[in-house]
Chains A and B, each alone.
Chain A
Protein backbone atom coordinates (compact mmCIF):
# COMPACT_ATOMS: atom_id res chain seq x y z
CA UNK A 1 0.00 0.00 0.00
CA UNK A 2 0.99 3.62 -0.39
CA UNK A 3 2.57 5.40 2.52
CA UNK A 4 3.09 9.15 2.59
CA UNK A 5 6.22 10.11 4.52
CA UNK A 6 7.07 13.40 6.26
CA UNK A 7 10.01 15.50 5.10
CA UNK A 8 11.97 14.62 8.22
CA UNK A 9 12.25 11.00 7.05
CA UNK A 10 13.31 11.68 3.46
CA UNK A 11 16.91 11.01 4.47
CA UNK A 12 15.79 7.39 4.87
CA UNK A 13 13.28 6.97 2.03
CA UNK A 14 14.54 9.48 -0.54
CA UNK A 15 10.96 10.14 -1.59
CA UNK A 16 7.76 11.20 0.10
CA UNK A 17 5.64 8.36 -1.33
CA UNK A 18 6.74 4.79 -0.70
CA UNK A 19 5.26 1.33 -0.92
CA UNK A 20 5.07 -0.97 2.11
CA UNK A 21 2.94 -3.87 3.19
CA UNK A 22 1.42 -5.35 6.33
CA UNK A 23 -1.90 -6.46 7.74
CA UNK A 24 -1.49 -4.18 10.76
CA UNK A 25 0.18 -0.84 11.34
CA UNK A 26 2.89 -2.64 13.35
CA UNK A 27 3.63 -4.94 10.40
CA UNK A 28 3.69 -1.98 8.06
CA UNK A 29 6.26 -0.24 10.27
CA UNK A 30 8.30 -3.45 10.39
CA UNK A 31 8.28 -3.56 6.60
CA UNK A 32 9.38 0.06 6.43
CA UNK A 33 12.25 -0.83 8.79
CA UNK A 34 13.30 -3.67 6.48
CA UNK A 35 13.31 -1.33 3.52
CA UNK A 36 14.78 1.69 5.33
CA UNK A 37 16.90 0.50 8.30
CA UNK A 38 16.78 2.76 11.33
CA UNK A 39 13.48 4.43 10.46
CA UNK A 40 11.39 2.60 13.07
CA UNK A 41 13.26 3.87 16.14
CA UNK A 42 12.93 7.44 14.93
CA UNK A 43 9.13 7.00 14.92
CA UNK A 44 8.39 4.32 17.55
CA UNK A 45 10.17 4.13 20.90
CA UNK A 46 11.56 1.04 22.64
CA UNK A 47 8.28 0.55 24.49
CA UNK A 48 6.40 0.36 21.17
CA UNK A 49 4.83 3.79 21.68
CA UNK A 50 4.47 6.17 18.76
CA UNK A 51 6.78 9.08 19.56
CA UNK A 52 5.12 12.20 20.93
CA UNK A 53 5.39 14.34 17.84
CA UNK A 54 4.68 11.68 15.20
CA UNK A 55 1.20 10.74 14.00
CA UNK A 56 -0.26 7.97 11.82
CA UNK A 57 -3.35 8.57 9.68
CA UNK A 58 -5.12 5.71 7.89
CA UNK A 59 -7.56 6.91 5.24
CA UNK A 60 -7.44 10.35 6.85
CA UNK A 61 -8.33 9.03 10.32
CA UNK A 62 -5.78 9.38 13.09
CA UNK A 63 -4.70 6.01 14.49
CA UNK A 64 -2.77 5.51 17.72
CA UNK A 65 -2.96 1.73 18.01
CA UNK A 66 -0.19 -0.15 16.21
CA UNK A 67 -2.39 -3.26 16.09
CA UNK A 68 -4.86 -1.37 13.88
CA UNK A 69 -5.74 -3.66 10.95
CA UNK A 70 -4.93 -2.51 7.44
CA UNK A 71 -6.46 -3.42 4.08
CA UNK A 72 -4.46 -3.54 0.85
CA UNK A 73 -6.01 -0.36 -0.53
CA UNK A 74 -5.65 1.72 2.64
CA UNK A 75 -3.72 4.95 2.39
CA UNK A 76 -1.35 5.48 5.27
CA UNK A 77 0.12 8.85 6.08
CA UNK A 78 2.90 9.34 8.60
CA UNK A 79 3.06 12.96 9.73
CA UNK A 80 5.10 15.01 12.11
CA UNK A 81 2.97 17.07 14.45
CA UNK A 82 2.82 20.82 14.00
CA UNK A 83 5.13 21.51 16.89
CA UNK A 84 8.66 22.53 17.57
CA UNK A 85 10.74 25.65 17.74
Chain B
Protein backbone atom coordinates (compact mmCIF):
# COMPACT_ATOMS: atom_id res chain seq x y z
CA UNK B 1 0.00 0.00 0.00
CA UNK B 2 2.74 2.39 1.01
CA UNK B 3 4.66 1.40 -2.11
CA UNK B 4 1.60 2.13 -4.24
CA UNK B 5 1.19 5.50 -2.59
CA UNK B 6 4.82 6.39 -3.26
CA UNK B 7 4.46 5.34 -6.87
CA UNK B 8 1.29 7.32 -7.24
CA UNK B 9 2.88 10.31 -5.59
CA UNK B 10 5.89 10.03 -7.86
CA UNK B 11 3.70 9.76 -10.90
CA UNK B 12 1.70 12.78 -9.79
CA UNK B 13 4.88 14.79 -9.21
CA UNK B 14 6.16 13.85 -12.63
CA UNK B 15 2.88 14.94 -14.21
CA UNK B 16 2.94 18.26 -12.38
CA UNK B 17 6.54 18.84 -13.40
CA UNK B 18 5.75 18.01 -17.00
CA UNK B 19 2.84 20.46 -16.97
CA UNK B 20 4.95 23.17 -15.41
CA UNK B 21 7.63 22.70 -18.05
CA UNK B 22 5.24 22.87 -20.99
CA UNK B 23 5.60 26.43 -22.25
CA UNK B 24 2.47 28.45 -22.86
CA UNK B 25 2.16 29.81 -26.36
CA UNK B 26 3.00 33.41 -27.12
CA UNK B 27 0.04 35.72 -27.48
CA UNK B 28 -0.98 38.64 -29.57
CA UNK B 29 -3.66 41.01 -28.34
CA UNK B 30 -5.45 42.68 -31.21
CA UNK B 31 -6.81 46.13 -30.45
CA UNK B 32 -9.17 47.93 -32.84
CA UNK B 33 -9.95 51.57 -32.16
CA UNK B 34 -11.82 54.54 -33.51
CA UNK B 35 -8.56 55.79 -35.08
CA UNK B 36 -6.65 52.68 -36.10
CA UNK B 37 -5.47 49.27 -34.93
CA UNK B 38 -2.62 47.98 -32.76
CA UNK B 39 -1.10 44.56 -32.14
CA UNK B 40 0.37 43.91 -28.70
CA UNK B 41 2.79 40.99 -28.79
CA UNK B 42 3.25 39.32 -25.43
CA UNK B 43 5.80 36.86 -24.14
CA UNK B 44 4.66 33.45 -22.92
CA UNK B 45 4.52 34.75 -19.33
CA UNK B 46 2.26 37.61 -20.47
CA UNK B 47 4.45 40.11 -18.64
CA UNK B 48 6.27 41.92 -21.45
CA UNK B 49 4.27 43.50 -24.25
CA UNK B 50 5.53 45.02 -27.48
CA UNK B 51 3.28 47.39 -29.36
CA UNK B 52 2.96 47.20 -33.14
CA UNK B 53 0.98 50.09 -34.58
CA UNK B 54 -0.85 52.10 -35.50
CA UNK B 55 -2.13 50.23 -38.52
CA UNK B 56 -4.58 52.23 -40.65
CA UNK B 57 -4.13 55.41 -38.63
CA UNK B 58 -7.34 57.43 -38.84
CA UNK B 59 -9.49 54.51 -39.88
CA UNK B 60 -12.41 53.49 -37.73
CA UNK B 61 -11.60 49.83 -37.09
CA UNK B 62 -14.48 47.95 -35.52
CA UNK B 63 -12.98 44.48 -35.38
CA UNK B 64 -9.55 42.94 -35.88
CA UNK B 65 -9.46 39.13 -35.83
CA UNK B 66 -6.74 36.52 -36.28
CA UNK B 67 -7.70 33.31 -38.08
CA UNK B 68 -7.12 30.51 -35.54
CA UNK B 69 -6.92 28.01 -38.42
CA UNK B 70 -3.59 29.31 -39.70
CA UNK B 71 -2.45 31.66 -36.94
CA UNK B 72 -1.28 34.35 -39.35
CA UNK B 73 -4.22 35.71 -41.38
CA UNK B 74 -5.70 38.89 -40.00
CA UNK B 75 -8.90 40.55 -41.10
CA UNK B 76 -9.68 44.15 -40.16
CA UNK B 77 -13.11 45.73 -40.60
CA UNK B 78 -12.43 49.38 -41.38
CA UNK B 79 -13.83 52.62 -42.72
CA UNK B 80 -13.05 56.29 -42.28
CA UNK B 81 -15.23 59.23 -41.39
CA UNK B 82 -15.52 60.02 -45.10
CA UNK B 83 -14.84 56.83 -47.05
CA UNK B 84 -17.02 53.77 -47.27
CA UNK B 85 -16.39 50.49 -45.48
CA UNK B 86 -13.87 47.86 -46.45
CA UNK B 87 -12.02 44.80 -45.19
CA UNK B 88 -8.23 44.73 -45.01
CA UNK B 89 -6.41 41.38 -45.05
CA UNK B 90 -2.93 40.40 -43.98
CA UNK B 91 -1.34 36.97 -44.23
CA UNK B 92 1.82 37.94 -42.35
CA UNK B 93 0.48 39.23 -39.05
CA UNK B 94 0.12 42.79 -40.25
CA UNK B 95 3.47 43.37 -41.98
CA UNK B 96 1.57 44.02 -45.21
CA UNK B 97 -2.12 44.47 -45.93
CA UNK B 98 -4.34 44.02 -48.97
CA UNK B 99 -7.85 45.32 -49.41
CA UNK B 100 -10.75 42.97 -50.08
CA UNK B 101 -11.70 43.10 -53.73
CA UNK B 102 -15.41 42.87 -52.86
CA UNK B 103 -16.23 44.01 -49.31
CA UNK B 104 -19.62 43.23 -47.73
CA UNK B 105 -22.38 45.10 -49.59
CA UNK B 106 -26.12 44.68 -49.80
CA UNK B 107 -27.80 43.64 -53.03
CA UNK B 108 -28.72 46.46 -55.37
CA UNK B 109 -32.35 47.41 -54.86
CA UNK B 110 -34.75 47.10 -57.79
CA UNK B 111 -35.51 50.32 -59.66
CA UNK B 112 -37.83 52.55 -57.67
CA UNK B 113 -36.97 50.93 -54.34
CA UNK B 114 -34.63 52.36 -51.74
CA UNK B 115 -31.89 49.90 -50.93
CA UNK B 116 -29.67 49.69 -47.89
CA UNK B 117 -25.96 50.42 -47.89
CA UNK B 118 -23.43 48.96 -45.48
CA UNK B 119 -22.15 51.76 -43.27
CA UNK B 120 -19.53 49.60 -41.60
CA UNK B 121 -18.66 45.99 -41.00
CA UNK B 122 -18.96 45.50 -37.28
CA UNK B 123 -18.23 41.86 -36.54
CA UNK B 124 -15.97 39.16 -38.02
CA UNK B 125 -16.18 35.44 -37.23
CA UNK B 126 -13.86 32.82 -38.70
CA UNK B 127 -15.53 29.50 -39.42
CA UNK B 128 -14.10 26.17 -38.31
CA UNK B 129 -11.25 24.05 -39.63
CA UNK B 130 -13.56 21.94 -41.78
CA UNK B 131 -14.59 25.10 -43.67
CA UNK B 132 -11.19 26.57 -44.50
CA UNK B 133 -10.96 30.17 -45.71
CA UNK B 134 -14.57 30.79 -44.68
CA UNK B 135 -15.58 33.81 -42.61
CA UNK B 136 -18.82 35.48 -41.59
CA UNK B 137 -19.33 39.22 -41.19
CA UNK B 138 -22.04 41.24 -39.50
CA UNK B 139 -22.67 44.82 -40.53
CA UNK B 140 -24.38 48.05 -39.61
CA UNK B 141 -27.16 48.34 -40.59
CA UNK B 142 -27.80 44.71 -39.81
CA UNK B 143 -26.63 42.36 -42.54
CA UNK B 144 -25.05 38.91 -42.62
CA UNK B 145 -22.27 38.14 -45.12
CA UNK B 146 -19.97 35.23 -45.89
CA UNK B 147 -16.59 34.92 -47.57
CA UNK B 148 -15.18 31.64 -48.81
CA UNK B 149 -11.84 33.01 -49.99
CA UNK B 150 -10.29 34.24 -46.77
CA UNK B 151 -12.03 37.59 -46.77
CA UNK B 152 -11.25 38.70 -50.32
CA UNK B 153 -14.81 38.61 -51.68
CA UNK B 154 -18.01 38.74 -49.64
CA UNK B 155 -21.60 37.91 -50.53
CA UNK B 156 -24.88 38.27 -48.65
CA UNK B 157 -25.51 35.09 -46.69
CA UNK B 158 -28.90 33.40 -46.29
CA UNK B 159 -32.30 35.01 -46.44
CA UNK B 160 -31.76 37.36 -43.52
CA UNK B 161 -30.73 40.57 -45.29
CA UNK B 162 -33.82 40.85 -47.48
CA UNK B 163 -36.46 38.78 -45.71
CA UNK B 164 -39.45 41.09 -44.98
CA UNK B 165 -39.93 39.71 -41.47
CA UNK B 166 -36.27 40.10 -40.59
CA UNK B 167 -36.21 43.59 -42.10
CA UNK B 168 -39.14 44.51 -39.87
CA UNK B 169 -37.34 43.17 -36.81
CA UNK B 170 -34.19 45.08 -37.77
CA UNK B 171 -36.09 48.38 -37.83
CA UNK B 172 -34.56 51.50 -39.30
CA UNK B 173 -31.23 53.15 -38.60
CA UNK B 174 -33.05 55.21 -35.98
CA UNK B 175 -33.99 52.08 -34.05
CA UNK B 176 -30.46 50.95 -33.38
CA UNK B 177 -27.64 52.00 -31.12
CA UNK B 178 -26.32 55.59 -31.33
CA UNK B 179 -23.59 54.35 -33.68
CA UNK B 180 -26.07 52.48 -35.89
CA UNK B 181 -27.88 49.15 -35.56
CA UNK B 182 -25.55 46.17 -35.39
CA UNK B 183 -25.39 42.54 -36.48
CA UNK B 184 -23.01 40.84 -34.05
CA UNK B 185 -22.19 37.72 -32.04
CA UNK B 186 -22.09 35.47 -35.11
CA UNK B 187 -21.39 32.05 -33.61
CA UNK B 188 -20.69 28.76 -35.38
CA UNK B 189 -21.42 25.60 -33.41
CA UNK B 190 -18.05 23.79 -33.25
CA UNK B 191 -19.85 20.43 -33.67
CA UNK B 192 -21.97 21.42 -36.66
CA UNK B 193 -21.11 24.26 -39.05
CA UNK B 194 -24.72 24.32 -40.29
CA UNK B 195 -25.77 25.43 -36.81
CA UNK B 196 -25.28 29.18 -36.42
CA UNK B 197 -26.38 31.94 -34.09
CA UNK B 198 -26.35 35.71 -34.52
CA UNK B 199 -27.63 38.64 -32.52
CA UNK B 200 -28.88 42.07 -33.51
CA UNK B 201 -28.96 45.35 -31.60
CA UNK B 202 -31.81 45.62 -31.90
CA UNK B 203 -33.61 42.63 -33.23
CA UNK B 204 -32.97 39.69 -30.91
CA UNK B 205 -30.97 36.47 -31.01
CA UNK B 206 -31.51 34.05 -33.91
CA UNK B 207 -30.55 30.50 -34.80
CA UNK B 208 -30.33 28.32 -37.89
CA UNK B 209 -29.71 24.58 -38.00
CA UNK B 210 -29.66 24.33 -41.80
CA UNK B 211 -26.82 26.68 -42.72
CA UNK B 212 -29.06 29.72 -43.02
CA UNK B 213 -31.90 28.31 -45.11
CA UNK B 214 -34.27 29.01 -42.23
CA UNK B 215 -33.82 31.02 -39.03
CA UNK B 216 -35.75 31.16 -35.77
CA UNK B 217 -35.76 33.83 -33.06
CA UNK B 218 -34.32 32.72 -29.75
CA UNK B 219 -35.59 35.31 -27.30
CA UNK B 220 -37.81 33.48 -24.82
CA UNK B 221 -36.98 34.54 -21.28
CA UNK B 222 -35.20 37.69 -22.42
CA UNK B 223 -36.65 40.89 -21.01
CA UNK B 224 -37.18 44.18 -22.81
CA UNK B 225 -37.39 47.76 -21.60
CA UNK B 226 -40.34 48.23 -19.25
CA UNK B 227 -43.54 49.10 -21.08
CA UNK B 228 -42.55 47.33 -24.30
CA UNK B 229 -43.91 44.01 -25.54
CA UNK B 230 -41.37 41.21 -25.13
CA UNK B 231 -43.15 39.16 -27.79
CA UNK B 232 -42.04 41.73 -30.39
CA UNK B 233 -38.61 40.56 -31.57
CA UNK B 234 -37.68 44.10 -32.63
CA UNK B 235 -37.62 45.25 -29.01
CA UNK B 236 -34.92 42.80 -27.95
CA UNK B 237 -31.41 44.17 -27.61
CA UNK B 238 -28.76 41.51 -26.95
CA UNK B 239 -25.40 43.24 -26.50
CA UNK B 240 -23.09 40.22 -26.61
CA UNK B 241 -23.67 36.47 -26.87
CA UNK B 242 -20.94 33.88 -26.19
CA UNK B 243 -20.90 30.10 -26.60
CA UNK B 244 -18.85 28.07 -24.11
CA UNK B 245 -15.99 26.29 -25.92
CA UNK B 246 -16.04 23.58 -23.26
CA UNK B 247 -19.78 23.03 -23.60
CA UNK B 248 -21.32 24.23 -26.88
CA UNK B 249 -24.79 23.63 -25.43
CA UNK B 250 -24.31 26.54 -23.04
CA UNK B 251 -24.52 30.20 -24.06
CA UNK B 252 -24.20 33.36 -22.03
CA UNK B 253 -25.57 36.73 -22.97
CA UNK B 254 -25.10 40.32 -21.82
CA UNK B 255 -28.27 42.12 -22.82
CA UNK B 256 -29.55 45.69 -22.62
CA UNK B 257 -31.87 44.24 -19.98
CA UNK B 258 -29.74 41.90 -17.93
CA UNK B 259 -27.37 38.95 -18.02
CA UNK B 260 -28.65 35.57 -19.22
CA UNK B 261 -27.68 31.92 -19.63
CA UNK B 262 -29.16 29.39 -22.04
CA UNK B 263 -28.66 25.62 -21.76
CA UNK B 264 -29.70 23.82 -24.91
CA UNK B 265 -31.87 22.12 -25.94
CA UNK B 266 -33.94 24.59 -23.94
CA UNK B 267 -35.03 27.69 -25.83
CA UNK B 268 -35.59 29.74 -22.71
CA UNK B 269 -32.95 32.14 -21.42
CA UNK B 270 -32.56 32.40 -17.66
CA UNK B 271 -31.76 35.80 -16.20
CA UNK B 272 -28.68 35.22 -14.07
CA UNK B 273 -27.87 38.90 -13.57
CA UNK B 274 -30.49 39.19 -10.86
CA UNK B 275 -27.82 37.92 -8.46
CA UNK B 276 -25.60 40.94 -9.21
CA UNK B 277 -25.40 43.67 -6.51
CA UNK B 278 -28.41 45.95 -6.88
CA UNK B 279 -26.22 49.09 -6.72
CA UNK B 280 -24.27 47.88 -9.75
CA UNK B 281 -27.02 46.24 -11.76
CA UNK B 282 -26.62 43.81 -14.62
CA UNK B 283 -26.36 46.12 -17.62
CA UNK B 284 -23.22 46.18 -19.71
CA UNK B 285 -21.80 45.44 -23.14
CA UNK B 286 -19.22 42.61 -23.05
CA UNK B 287 -19.40 39.06 -21.77
CA UNK B 288 -16.49 36.62 -21.73
CA UNK B 289 -16.56 32.87 -21.06
CA UNK B 290 -13.90 30.58 -19.65
CA UNK B 291 -12.25 28.42 -22.32
CA UNK B 292 -12.43 25.25 -20.21
CA UNK B 293 -15.09 25.80 -17.54
CA UNK B 294 -18.67 26.44 -18.61
CA UNK B 295 -19.63 27.65 -15.14
CA UNK B 296 -17.23 30.59 -15.28
CA UNK B 297 -17.96 33.85 -17.08
CA UNK B 298 -17.05 37.50 -16.69
CA UNK B 299 -18.93 40.76 -17.29
CA UNK B 300 -18.03 44.42 -16.94
CA UNK B 301 -21.13 46.33 -15.83
CA UNK B 302 -21.92 49.90 -16.81
CA UNK B 303 -24.36 52.53 -15.67
CA UNK B 304 -27.64 51.93 -17.47
CA UNK B 305 -29.78 54.18 -15.30
CA UNK B 306 -31.55 57.46 -16.09
CA UNK B 307 -30.14 58.78 -19.40
CA UNK B 308 -27.84 55.77 -19.83
CA UNK B 309 -24.45 57.35 -19.06
CA UNK B 310 -22.70 54.14 -20.23
CA UNK B 311 -19.88 54.70 -17.73
CA UNK B 312 -18.60 52.47 -14.97
CA UNK B 313 -21.17 52.63 -12.15
CA UNK B 314 -20.20 55.46 -9.78
CA UNK B 315 -16.93 55.93 -11.64
CA UNK B 316 -15.60 52.74 -10.01
CA UNK B 317 -14.97 50.14 -12.71
CA UNK B 318 -15.00 46.46 -11.85
CA UNK B 319 -15.21 43.10 -13.54
CA UNK B 320 -17.63 40.58 -12.06
CA UNK B 321 -17.13 36.83 -12.29
CA UNK B 322 -19.46 33.93 -11.73
CA UNK B 323 -17.98 30.50 -11.10
CA UNK B 324 -21.30 28.67 -10.78
CA UNK B 325 -23.21 29.55 -13.90
CA UNK B 326 -24.60 32.80 -12.57
CA UNK B 327 -25.85 31.82 -9.12
CA UNK B 328 -23.41 34.20 -7.48
CA UNK B 329 -21.12 37.00 -8.68
CA UNK B 330 -17.85 38.25 -7.24
CA UNK B 331 -16.39 41.73 -7.73
CA UNK B 332 -12.86 41.80 -9.21
CA UNK B 333 -11.35 45.28 -9.05
CA UNK B 334 -7.84 44.89 -7.58
CA UNK B 335 -5.55 47.17 -9.55
CA UNK B 336 -8.37 49.07 -11.26
CA UNK B 337 -9.02 52.73 -10.42
CA UNK B 338 -10.87 53.16 -7.15
CA UNK B 339 -12.79 56.26 -8.19
CA UNK B 340 -13.32 58.89 -10.90
CA UNK B 341 -12.85 56.46 -13.78
CA UNK B 342 -15.78 57.23 -16.05
CA UNK B 343 -15.08 54.85 -18.86
CA UNK B 344 -16.76 51.69 -20.01
CA UNK B 345 -15.94 48.73 -22.24
CA UNK B 346 -17.71 48.02 -25.50
CA UNK B 347 -19.15 44.65 -26.48
CA UNK B 348 -16.17 43.45 -28.52
CA UNK B 349 -13.55 44.97 -26.26
CA UNK B 350 -13.13 42.19 -23.69
CA UNK B 351 -11.48 38.84 -24.30
CA UNK B 352 -9.90 35.81 -22.65
CA UNK B 353 -6.85 33.79 -23.64
CA UNK B 354 -6.55 30.01 -23.21
CA UNK B 355 -3.63 30.00 -20.76
CA UNK B 356 -3.85 28.44 -17.32
CA UNK B 357 -4.75 30.51 -15.38
CA UNK B 358 -6.80 32.32 -17.97
CA UNK B 359 -5.69 35.81 -18.97
CA UNK B 360 -8.35 38.47 -19.37
CA UNK B 361 -8.08 41.64 -21.44
CA UNK B 362 -10.27 44.66 -21.93
CA UNK B 363 -9.98 47.99 -23.71
CA UNK B 364 -11.77 51.09 -22.52
CA UNK B 365 -13.62 53.90 -24.19
CA UNK B 366 -10.85 56.14 -22.81
CA UNK B 367 -8.13 54.21 -24.67
CA UNK B 368 -6.61 52.07 -21.93
CA UNK B 369 -5.76 48.40 -22.36
CA UNK B 370 -5.99 46.35 -19.16
CA UNK B 371 -5.09 42.74 -18.52
CA UNK B 372 -5.14 40.16 -15.76
CA UNK B 373 -2.89 37.10 -15.64
CA UNK B 374 -4.97 35.39 -12.96
CA UNK B 375 -8.56 35.30 -14.17
CA UNK B 376 -9.36 38.79 -12.94
CA UNK B 377 -7.95 38.73 -9.40
CA UNK B 378 -5.42 41.48 -10.20
CA UNK B 379 -5.47 43.97 -13.07
CA UNK B 380 -2.61 45.78 -14.81
CA UNK B 381 -2.77 48.54 -17.40
CA UNK B 382 -0.56 47.64 -20.36
CA UNK B 383 -1.31 50.63 -22.63
CA UNK B 384 -2.69 54.12 -22.19
CA UNK B 385 -3.62 57.02 -24.46
CA UNK B 386 -4.91 54.92 -27.33
CA UNK B 387 -8.00 56.13 -29.17
CA UNK B 388 -11.39 54.86 -28.02
CA UNK B 389 -11.12 51.07 -28.08
CA UNK B 390 -13.76 49.20 -30.04
CA UNK B 391 -12.52 45.62 -29.88
CA UNK B 392 -9.95 43.43 -28.15
CA UNK B 393 -9.09 39.88 -29.13
CA UNK B 394 -6.42 37.62 -27.60
CA UNK B 395 -4.94 34.99 -29.90
CA UNK B 396 -2.14 32.43 -29.52
CA UNK B 397 0.83 32.47 -31.90
CA UNK B 398 2.89 29.49 -32.96
A9 CA to B82 CA, complexed, in Å: 10
- Are B81's CB and A51's CB within 8 A? no
From A37, A44, A83, B82 is in contact (CB under 8 Å) with A83
A4 within 8 A of partner (CB): no
Residues of B within 8 A of A54 (CB): 82-83
CB <8 Å contact, B117 and A8: no
A43 within 8 A of B: yes
* B83:A38 contact, CB within 8 angstroms: no
B103 beta carbon closer than 8 Å to chain A? yes
Residues 61-85 of chain A, each 1 if its beta carbon lies under 8 Å from chain B, else 0: 0000000000000000000110111
Q: Check: A49 CB closer than 8 A to any chain B CB.
A: yes
- Closest partner residue, chain A, to B113 (CB atom): A47
Identify the stretch in B104-112, B309-317, B366-374, B376-384 within 8 Å (CB) of chain A at 4 or more residues: B104-112
Give CA–CA (A14, B296) in the complex, Å.
Answer: 51
Within 39-67 of A, Cβ neighbours of B (below 8 Å) are at 41-49, 51, 53-54
Complex contacts, A85 vs chain B, CB 8 Å: 81
Cα A10 to Cα B83 in complex, Å, equals 12
B82 touches A41 (CB 8 A): no
B81 x A46 contact (CB < 8 A): no
Q: Does B108 contact A41, Cβ atoms closer than 8 Å?
A: no
Sorting the interface of chain A by its residue count into under 10, 10 to 19, 20 to 34 or 35 or more gives: 20 to 34
Instruction: For B116, list chain A residues within 8 Å (CB).
Output: 47
B337 interface residue (CB < 8 Å to A): no
The answer to whether B117 touches A84 (Cβ under 8 A) is no
**B231 within 8 Å of A by Cβ?**
no
Q: Main SS of the interface on chain A?
A: loop
* Contact B83–A42 (Cβ < 8 Å): yes
Distance of A51 Cα from B101 Cα, bound (Å): 19
Contact check, A47 vs B109: say whether CB atoms are below 8 A apart.
yes
**In the complex, what residues of B have CB within 8 A of residue A6's CB?**
82
Contact partner of A80 among B82, B99, B106, B115, CB < 8 A? B82
Point out the residues of chain B lying under 8 angstroms from A47, CB to CB. Answer: 106, 108-109, 114-117
For chain B residues 98-136, which have a beta carbon within 8 Å of chain A? 99-101, 103, 105-109, 114-118
Q: Residue B86 at the A interface, CB < 8 A?
A: yes
**Among residues 11 to 45 in chain A, which have CB atoms less than 8 Å away from a CB atom of chain B?**
37-38, 41-45
Instruction: Report whether A53 and B105 are in contact in the complex, using a CB–CB cutoff of 8 Å.
Output: no
Residues of B within 8 A of A48 (CB): 108
The answer to whether B99 touches A53 (Cβ under 8 A) is no
Across the two chains, which residue of chain A brings its CB closest to B107?
Answer: A46
Q: Answer yes or no: B80 CB below 8 A from chain A CBs.
A: yes
A45/B83 contact (C-beta < 8 A), A38-B99, A38-B101 known: no
B84 within 8 A of A: yes
Contacts of A45 in B (CB 8 A): 84, 105, 117-118
What mask results when residues 65 to 104 of chain B are scored 1 for a CB within 8 Å of chain A, else 0?
A: 0000000000000001111101000000000000111010
Verify A49–B117 contact, CB threshold 8 A. yes
Q: Would A9 and B83 be within 8 Å (CB), given that A37-B101, A46-B106 are in contact? A: yes
List the interface of chain A (C-beta within 8 A of B).
6, 8-9, 37-38, 41-49, 51, 53-54, 80-81, 83-85
What are the 9 A-B residue pairs with the smallest beta carbon separation, nearest first?
A45-B117, A46-B105, A84-B81, A80-B82, A42-B83, A53-B82, A47-B115, A42-B84, A38-B99
